[in-house]
Structure 1
Amino acid sequence: MSISPEETQIIKSILQHCEDGTTDMQPELMRNPVTTYTDPEINAREIETLFRKFPIIMGHSKQLPDASSYITNDELGVPLLITRNKDGQVKAFMNVCRHRGARLTDSPCGHAKTLSCPYHKWTYDLDGNLRGLPHAAGFGDINKQELGLVELPAFERFGLIWVRPSVSDEPLDLDAWIAPMSEQFQSLDLEDHVVYREWSLDRKMNWHLALEGFQESYHFCGAHEHTACAGYLDNQSIWLDKYPHVRHAVPLPKVVDLKDQDPDNWDYRGNFLTQNYVFPCNYIQVMTDHVYIHTIIPTGVDSCIFKCIMLIPEAPKTEKAEKYWQKNYDVIRTVFNEDFEIGESIQKGLNAGANNEFLFGRYEIGLQLGTKAIHDALEGRLTT
């Protein structure tokens, strides 16, 4: 499998680190106030900015398998109806009738050419157009074209569905937004993958604590001493700042064998876990042969939702394949739970007064880069 010049440089850098006993580091420490995790006003600002003004990955293309399919989602605090219309295009709307505000559907997914409000049967197609209403004469000369569902910016790229969950006059060029990561994402062929498992967890911790578990590998041999630790080099990673996104390459121990191979024969993916932070709240976590899509959503200052989609190259065709993917699923659930249990224990102690700030070490690079991008967005220095 051919690798990109960027991946060739990642391998060269990690081999040099292994030879020198070093790792990537930032110039200085960063100090993050504990109020980031405890202040309801900060949490409200983050929801209003990060979770309304920026595109968020809401699913995989196979979850809208054909024309007239739809999915719904309320976890962002906005009732979303995401559809694939008769032309195969992905659309997103508020799942709210324009007559009296009732939800059009409570089904998590389905197929339909039209959806009718259960209250008064106003009916909409999957392009959001108001197609009909009973006893229309009672509403005079209303313009049905002005009473379609409220549309939200939606995109389908790299086999993933992206939605900006608010109405805005500000344009959104998703291709430009994700351009720093596009070469890598395009190479993954995620549109040809299938969903093996999808799950959603309510956790009792600030959303930053859940996000931060993916933003450094310093904790691997602490939190994951008996699980993930042995699978990777200890605290040796390569970080690429793709502002506001981040590519984090975590090497497997066997990467050192590449030093004796011709670089033309190097295999990147088989030797790395790649953790891709997609601002503001997604991670595309690339394993050696499958991929996880993570979405972390605040539901309060001390609670969040963790969503995950496990993507595999093809549906299991044999019992052996099913056991293999089930084992991978079981392992990742165990590893994630180790992070979440620690995150919830941190949340319990935040108001004790032991810490006024947290230290982000020089090799906790993802924490530093991610925090800077979030601060920039909250201060209006970062927009789509």
Structure 2
Amino acid sequence: MDRTEKLSLTSRLLAHVDNGTTDYADGLMRVPFGAFNDPELAKREVEVVRRHPHIVAHTDELPNPGDFLTTELIGTPLLVVRQNDGSVKAFSNVCRHRGARVEFAEKGCKRIFSCPYHNWAYGRGGELRAMPHAEDFPGLDKAEFGLVEFPCEVRHSLVWVIPTAGEDLDVRAILGDKHDGELEQTGIGASHQHRFETFDLDMNWKVVVDGVQDSYHLCQLHTTTVCPLLHGNIYALDPHGKSWRLVVARKTLEQIRGKDPDEVDVRDYTLANYTIYPGTMLVTEPNHFEIWTITPHPDDPNRSRTTIRLLSPAKPETERQVRFFDKNWELLMKTLLDEDWHVAGTITGNIATGGVGELVYGRNELPGQMFHTVLAEDVAKLTR
């Protein structure tokens, strides 16, 4: 973040604090309840989401050539492998012979991945290396029967995958040069993954996305957990394409007043959420990072999956440092499980049975309005 941007952001946020304002949408937005539980709409949303990048790992999980992990992304089984040259590739974890799962282990290190059904064997690069009784498959070109490869990129120490073959993936372009450069300056590229956990939720995925981007509720729902740290309903939002940077003022922001702007950094007094549409958030705080990956269930609009990663700037070297990041994780889990998801978890059920026809997003809920607008536009493009 250059000096001009720091000064501008500081000025915007302090003005919002002084005036009790925030960045606003032009007006109200109404979203029908059907947008959250219509099965046909949900299918089209899944198709949209499968064409965009999602974070599936931190590079700490794949330190050496041959290291692999298996996971599922919007119903697609993935095999993610560190290559001999240090790059990372992602494949469909499905054998090209009869469609069985190739690798059942959650993680490990291998040179060869053999399907247990008929022992078709694939190399680290996904190529078909061997098959029993190859003479019984006359005319089959092994070069054409490697594992299906998905677009994959490592950026900011994170492994990004689009679970649709043939799509273009350029994380820097998606973020934009300015926001990508800001993330690089935070040191996230040298980060250490302290904890991560995946949650299968009985919630529509858009309810979860809405919650992570919503600063309106911070001092209503989180009176003793988050509100002492952050200003509720005060943020600055800057879009780039379908992505945006959402900066929330910390309660310490007022300490900047009167100080030499070249001696303070507004990032030490804020929380920045770099949102990569449709459901990825890179949250930067002064002493750690949170990485969110939110995806719909492939078949059920009332279910979703969220993976959260807590990253430290470097690997903790002392027990005290470990406890510090453990406490950050514990606060995050308490806030989510006891407050956010405890309340937001009722929304999906209420949509089905509550007799209310729509949700209303205020002018102060600009991130939610932007998200629902872009998603609706992308879904509409599928039907043209």
State the TM-score, normalized to the length of structure 2: 0.94
Listed one character per residue, the Cα deviations across residues 139-194 of structure 1 (whole Å, up to 9, x for unaligned) are 223211011111111111121111110123x5444432232531222222222111
SS at 1:234 equivalent? strand
- The amino acid of 1:371's aligned partner reads H
- Amino acid of the structure 2 residue aligned with 1:56: H
Q: 1:233 to 1:172 in 2, by over 3 A?
A: closer
What is the letter of the counterpart of residue 99 of structure 2? Answer: G
Letter in 2 for 1:266: V
Q: Look up the match of 1:376.
A: 377
Partner residue of 1:343?
344
Q: Secondary structure at the match of 1:305?
A: strand
Q: How does 1:181-330 map to 2 (within 5 A)?
A: 181-299=179-297, 300-330=300-330
Residues 99/4 of structure 1: CA separation in 2 closer, same or farther (3 Å cut):
farther
Mapped to 1, the partners of 2:47 and 2:364 lie a distance apart of 31
Q: Write out per-residue CA displacement over residues 211-257 of structure 1, whole angstroms, 9 at most, x where no aligned residue.
A: 11112200011211121011112311111122311211111111112
Distance apart, 1:207 and its partner CA: 0.6
- Give the CA deviation at 1:205: 1.0
Q: Distance in 2 between matches of 1:352 and 1:122?
A: 50
Identical aligned residues as a percent: 32
* Contact 2:176/2:240 (8 A) holds in 1: no
Equivalent position amino acid for 1:36 in 2: A
Counterparts of 1:12 and 1:328, CA distance in 2? 29
Deviations for 1:185-208, whole angstroms, at most 9, x for unmatched residues?
222222211111010111111111
Counterparts of 2:264 and 2:137, CA distance in 1: 68
Match of 2:174 in 1: 177
What is aligned with 2:22?
23
Gaps in structure 2 of 5+ consecutive residues: none
Give 1:4 deviation, angstroms.
Answer: 4.9
Query: Counterpart amino acid of 1:183?
Result: G
Letter in 2 for 1:34: F
Residues 23 and 173 (structure 1), Cα distance of their counterparts in 2 relative to 1, 3 Å cut: closer
Q: Distance in 1 between matches of 2:171 and 2:220?
A: 38
Shift of 1:7: 3.2
Once the two structures are TM-superposed, the CA of residue 209 in structure 1 deviates from its matched residue by: 0.7
SS at match of 1:86: coil
Deviation at residue 328 of structure 1 after TM alignment:
0.7
**In the alignment, is the contact (CA less than 8 A) between 1:196 and 1:312 conserved in 2?**
yes
Match of 1:117 in 2: 115
The number of aligned residues is: 378
How well do the aligned residues superpose, as a CA RMSD in angstroms?
A: 1.6
Q: Secondary structure at the match of 2:231?
A: coil
* Counterpart residue number, 1:364: 365
Worse overlay, 206-215 or 371-380 = 371-380
CA apart distance, 1:290 = 0.6
4+ residue runs of structure 1 moved beyond 4 angstroms? none
Structure 1, residues 277-316: CA drift from partner, whole Å, max 9, x if none? 1111111111211101111121221111111111112222
Q: Secondary structure of 2:119's match?
A: coil
Does the 8 Å CA contact 1:159/1:189 hold for their aligned counterparts?
A: no
C-alpha distance in 1, partners of 2:11/2:286? Answer: 19
Residue in 2 aligned with 1:333?
333
Task: State the distance in 2 between where 1:311 and 1:174 align.
Answer: 19
Q: Which residue of 1 aligns with 2:91?
A: 93
Residue in 2 aligned with 1:6?
5
Q: Distance in 2 between matches of 1:354 and 1:142?
A: 58
CA shift for structure 1 position 266? 2.0
Cα distance, 1:3 vs structure 2: 5.0
TM-score (norm 1): 0.94
Give the Cα separation in 2 of the matches to 1:159 and 1:33.
Answer: 39
